[in-house]
Amino acid sequence: MVLVSLMVLLLGCTASRPVPRAEDFPLHATEPPFVLHWRLDQEAGRVTAVGLVDVGAPEHIESVTVQVQGLDPNGRLVSRGWGTATPRSFTGVEPWPFQVLLRPTGREVRFTVGVADIVWKRELMGGPGGH
């Protein structure tokens, strides 16, 4: 009975959290076919990018790797972190959430966020109607 009560409580808490939307984030970039929306949270010893990826045509994509790069005053890469964006649902309509943690070196003057990799869905040949 206690376990059931805890599950109901947890599900209630999860359901009450609003789903983030693209307009909830202050930073945006377009990397066709993707559009990224995010915010950077900077604390001592870490930088976290939290956001969404609008995937466009998700039926062929399994996941998207998002990267955060820390650049020095000369534009050189001095730190990098990766995270995976995957769908919350299978409707193809909702953007995919991501979170990337980066441990800065202390030489960064700016951070960029972009798509580092795409994992494509494997399609089997020879299904119905194919040979």
- What pairing do the DSSP bridges indicate for beta strands 34-43 and 110-120? unpaired
On whether the pTM is more than 0.95, the answer is no
pLDDT string in tens for the chain (131-residue length): 544 444 444 444 445 567 789 999 999 999 998 999 999 999 999 999 999 999 887 788 889 999 999 999 999 999 999 999 988 876 767 899 999 999 999 999 999 999 999 999 887 766 555 45
Question: What domains appear along the chain, each with residue ranges and CATH number?
Answer: 22-120 (2.60.40)
Residue written as tokens 């959290």?
Answer: 17
The 3-state DSSP class for residue 7 equals: helix
Question: What is the DSSP-derived secondary structure letter of residue 1?
Answer: -
